[in-house]
Amino acid sequence: MRNKVWWAVGLLIALGLVLLSPLASAWPDGLERVAEDQGFMGLAQDPLYELIPDYVLPGVGHEQLATILAGLIGVLILFGVGLGVGYLLRVRRSTDQTRQV
């Protein structure tokens, strides 16, 4: 039960931070800034596939809302993967303990 509380608190904190994401700095992040300053930004290749390009959900007219929605989707996907991996590890551990008995 206590473990579930930590997951819920973590999810709520992450979702709260997503709501604040449009307030983040408009300046490029550190890696992009160095690439621009050193003149090799143009050498970067685009990824083969982007689910949410530039952290903005395509098709949403309001940029801040698109950023929030992209963040919500990302947080929910990552928490889903984390819960899935945790479940698989727990099932595997209980199966291994059953075999030892």
Find the domain containing 63 and state its range.
Answer: 2-100
- Give tens-digit pLDDT for 56-100: 888 999 888 998 999 999 999 999 999 999 889 888 777 766 666
Of 84, 74, 68, nearest to 51 by C-alpha is 74
Of 86, 58, 57, nearest to 73 by C-alpha is 57
* Cα 98 → chain centroid: 35
* Cα 9 → chain centroid: 16
Residue 57: count of CB within 10 angstroms of its CB: 19
Q: What is the pLDDT of residue 15?
A: 93
* Number of domains the chain is built from: 1
Residue 66: count of CB within 10 angstroms of its CB: 19
Q: What is the pLDDT of residue 72?
A: 93
* Between 1 and 31, the higher pLDDT residue: 31
Phi and psi at residue 48, in whole multiples of 5°?
A: -65, -35
Q: What is the pLDDT of residue 48?
A: 87
